[in-house]
Structure 1
């Protein structure tokens, strides 16, 4: 008798969430439904460090493991989980996204490594305090407002818009900064004081990315959802991160981001971006990072801001970040594509 392949779906939760989880009572229920529809047995695998050993035993019984866990979540990181997933993957089950792939694709450093691609911009990277202290003030002085990004984070954590208030002649210069986390308001402080705030981003082999601020930010962000190396949909959202809140305050309705409007991969306004992602930028990224098609995450997204228009008035696109660790919500078409890719990869294995 043929045995259906088994997939474990991982997300973070407490002991009670693990005890009560079913394929129907969570935000990933559409993924469970689509897997079941093609004969794949999927089960919840709620994770927390407190019962990591129990989950390890569960994952080792699966043929594949699909993971939705943020890099930073309520003070917790993925360090222990990533070690567990590496161990599990080494013993047989296929893991998506594998932690080693996340470290290549799902960190801000990719903005520097791929800056020469068509999605790139004037991007710099600081790996040491000395380089940060020596180079960033000069860049801010000569090149205008900049955006600093810590290497790993989510929900705007460690992403700052920085602009000079007065000529940056010395260490006492004043800057205006705005954190990308929701509810943030602009601050005015000394450049040296702000830079000291960012120094923690460099510990434990961390780094800081430095890019020019994109003036067309108010036009919104395009989230390009990818299933492996193919576009599975788009989301467009009028974001408010790095935009000063209105006079009503950061908690007012006017300060909240607009809804993310989902579109299928075939949506006409995004066909230029789709073609570039599928035929140019994704293959080029894979070559730069040393990632083959089979290692690409089942679901990931590339967030784009609008760059300067061309002389002919056409849009250009600047990569803002790539999300791999926990991509959700997703377009309506994506769960079926996830299931199809899971089946394809299990068959290949």
Structure 2
């Protein structure tokens, strides 16, 4: 065992600090070093893939990926192939491509729509034809949210509703809406609203389907999102804290990202004990539906409030799981980087002691 962990990054991108790294990368590296292990950062480029494989496989026990797949020049395919080869060579992957795809892809919600975590009418479109054939009928049931698979910070996440509220109330559920139906479409990235026609808007959204891992998830709009989204941040199996993310007030705002003006309140897990307990109980169900309980190193689960139709009691609806490159720059003073380092080292030692 080398007692060494490499951290992958890519050059450039809006997530970088003035030193060229993500703000949370070097704190992870330093925390690993403080525990007596070696750690360093390497940058991925497609043309370096073979040299990176040789260097990393010969000198490290594990890798931590701090790469937003959307920031990789030329796409994620080559990067995922490198990580897969390293895992096959015996390195502990955190997170592996399979974990990123199983847990982090937006269609994880569709794979859970037979559980109490996600509304049963949640769907995914993997080709343009099925999207155009199905969405006009889906929208007849009420407001929807469309989510692209590749987006981050709310990009390509759209709240879609009929522009005329009276016309919306008169729609017969289950009927396909005409392509010239007037819509109001609000993007989560900054809460801006655009007036569109249904057919033209679907043509615009085709860009989210084409290409590697392209898809659109179609989910019921949850009105209580205005009360805030509740995010559990976990390091391995351990809930670290809960963030209550409340969208900006007024207008069509529904986005819970900092960029859009949402306000974040950080709570200890025990302050949301009912949610924490529910998620812990649901985790085996999540693993069963997503193909295995290889828990990501750093991951989040986002929930929205809903009402139980029978009792009126608050319930929680899963809106998203993230694990590709969860950032925690605002939480560095909480010492999360030390928890990440401890969990990463534990995984390597557990494998070598098995």
Indicate whether the TM-score tops 0.5: yes
Alignment: residue pair count: 329
Q: Cα RMSD over matched residues?
A: 3.0
Question: Within 2, Cα distance between the matches of 1:39 and 1:343?
Answer: 10
How far 1:186 sits from its partner (Å)? Answer: 1.0
Indicate which of 256, 261, 271 corresponds to 1:257. 261
Structure 2 residue 202 is the aligned partner of structure 1 residue 195: yes
**2:35 equivalent in structure 1:** 38
Question: Within 2, Cα distance between the matches of 1:149 and 1:215?
Answer: 16
Structure 2 residue 296 is the aligned partner of structure 1 residue 297: yes
1:1-349 pair list within 5 angstroms: 5-13=3-11, 26-49=23-46, 51-60=48-57, 61-73=59-71, 77-121=75-119, 122-141=121-140, 143-166=141-164, 167=167, 169-182=177-190, 185-204=192-211, 206-240=214-248, 244=252, 256-266=260-270, 268=271, 270-278=272-280, 280-292=281-293, 295-308=294-307, 314-329=313-328, 331=331, 332-349=334-351
Would the aligned equivalents of 1:119 and 1:317 in 2 still touch at CA under 8 Å? yes
Question: Within 2, Cα distance between the matches of 1:26 and 1:144?
Answer: 41
Question: Within 2, Cα distance between the matches of 1:98 and 1:53?
Answer: 18
Would the aligned equivalents of 2:9 and 2:42 in 1 still touch at CA under 8 Å? yes
Question: 2:314 is paired with a residue of what secondary structure?
Answer: coil
Would the aligned equivalents of 2:25 and 2:66 in 1 still touch at CA under 8 Å? no
Would the aligned equivalents of 2:154 and 2:189 in 1 still touch at CA under 8 Å? yes
Question: 2:99 is paired with a residue of what secondary structure?
Answer: helix
Question: Within 2, Cα distance between the matches of 1:319 and 1:95?
Answer: 26
Aligned CA distance change for structure 1 residues 45 and 115 (closer, same or farther; 3 Å): same
How far 1:26 sits from its partner (Å)? Answer: 4.6
**2:174 equivalent in structure 1:** none
Would the aligned equivalents of 1:233 and 1:333 in 2 still touch at CA under 8 Å? no
Question: Within 2, Cα distance between the matches of 1:157 and 1:242?
Answer: 20
Question: 1:162 is paired with a residue of what secondary structure?
Answer: strand
Question: 1:325 is paired with a residue of what secondary structure?
Answer: coil
Would the aligned equivalents of 2:10 and 2:72 in 1 still touch at CA under 8 Å? no
